């Protein structure tokens, strides 16, 4: 979605406002769930670099939960979480990746990065849409906040790619079945 839409006065009763509010509840649930899951991913990672990356994104995610609470205030809605089926599925998939890979192996890290990047891409798509909707609905402050998180998610994704390409993929290549 493009964000350069004309600014229209906020219409609290529009169907689009309802959709926007529901999408906010979805990502609010997803971020809260992710705080727990990033702890699990950090615990399961082999390399110190990946553990640190997961831990620092966990702290960042706690900030994103708070920022979403500011977004709810900015748009005049109550902060509510609604189960995000997609994020729940991605968390389940990450559990399977942990089960299916050997503890202490670099293949484990390759798998965890793959799972975490699916999460980041889901979030990038979600925040891109939310920021665009905030813009079109005339919620300027909310749009700014959502854009801020969008940038953080893109950076988190880049960090994960850097770790994979830096040494994880190459080390995993040396491991036997
Ligand atoms: Fe996030």
Which phi and psi (to 5°) does residue 87 adopt?
A: -70, -35
Distance of alpha carbon 168 from alpha carbon 131, whole angstroms: 34
Residue 83, C-beta contacts closer than 8 angstroms, at least 6 positions apart: 29
Tokens describing residue 17: 């406002």
Q: Which CATH superfamily is domain 15-173 in?
A: Ferritin, core subunit, four-helix bundle (1.20.1260.10)
What is the CA(149)–ligand 1 centre distance, in A?
A: 7
User: Taking residues 65-91, what's their average pLDDT?
Assistant: 97
User: Taking residues 130-153, what's their average pLDDT?
Assistant: 97
Instruction: Give whole-number Cα distances, 115 to 28, 86, 157, in Å.
Output: 20, 13, 11
What is the CA(49)–ligand 1 centre distance, in A?
A: 19
What is the CA(123)–ligand 1 centre distance, in A?
A: 6
CB 152 within 8 A of CB 64: yes
What is the CA(74)–ligand 1 centre distance, in A?
A: 19
Q: How many CB atoms lie within 10 A of CB 155?
A: 13
What is the CA(173)–ligand 1 centre distance, in A?
A: 30
What is the CA(80)–ligand 1 centre distance, in A?
A: 17
pLDDT score recorded for residue 6? 53
Residue 6, C-beta contacts closer than 8 angstroms, at least 6 positions apart: none
What is the CA(5)–ligand 1 centre distance, in A?
A: 25
Q: Is the pLDDT of residue 160 over 70?
A: yes
Residue 160 or residue 8, greater confidence: 160
Helices (H), the chain: 15-44, 48-74, 85-100, 106-137, 140-163, 169-173
Residue for token pair 């926007």: 20
pLDDT score recorded for residue 176? 87
- pTM (two decimals): 0.91
What is the CA(160)–ligand 1 centre distance, in A?
A: 14
pLDDT score recorded for residue 5? 54
pLDDT score recorded for residue 96? 97
Q: Backbone dihedral region of 104: left (phi > 0), alpha (psi from -120 to 50 degrees) or beta?
A: left
What is the CA(67)–ligand 1 centre distance, in A?
A: 10
Which of the four pLDDT bands, split at 50, 70 and 90, describes residue 177?
confident
What is the CA(60)–ligand 1 centre distance, in A?
A: 8
What is the percent of the chain with per-residue pLDDT over 90, rounded to a whole number? 88
Which of the four pLDDT bands, split at 50, 70 and 90, describes residue 1?
low
User: Taking residues 78-99, what's their average pLDDT?
Assistant: 97
Residue for token pair 């389940």: 92
Q: Is the pLDDT of residue 104 over 60?
A: yes
């Amino acid at each position: 979605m493009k964000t350069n839409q004309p600014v229209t006065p906020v219409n609290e009763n529009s169907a689009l406002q309802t959709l926007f509010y529901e999408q906010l509840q979805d990502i609010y649930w997803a971020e809260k769930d992710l705080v727990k899951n990033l702890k699990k991913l950090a615990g399961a990672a082999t390399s110190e670099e990946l553990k640190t990356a997961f831990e620092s994104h966990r702290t960042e995610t706690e900030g994103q939960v708070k920022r979403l609470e500011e977004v709810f205030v900015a748009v005049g809605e109550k902060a509510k979480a609604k189960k995000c089926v997609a994020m729940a599925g991605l968390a389940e998939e990450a559990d399977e990746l942990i089960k299916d890979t050997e503890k202490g192996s670099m293949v484990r890290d390759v798998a965890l990065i793959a799972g975490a990047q699916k999460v980041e891409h889901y979030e990038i798509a979600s925040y891109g849409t939310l920021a665009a909707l905030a813009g079109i609905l005339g919620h300027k402050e909310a749009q700014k906040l959502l854009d801020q998180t969008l940038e953080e998610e893109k950076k988190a994704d880049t960090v994960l790619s850097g770790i994979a390409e830096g040494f994880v993929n190459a080390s995993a290549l040396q491991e036997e079945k």
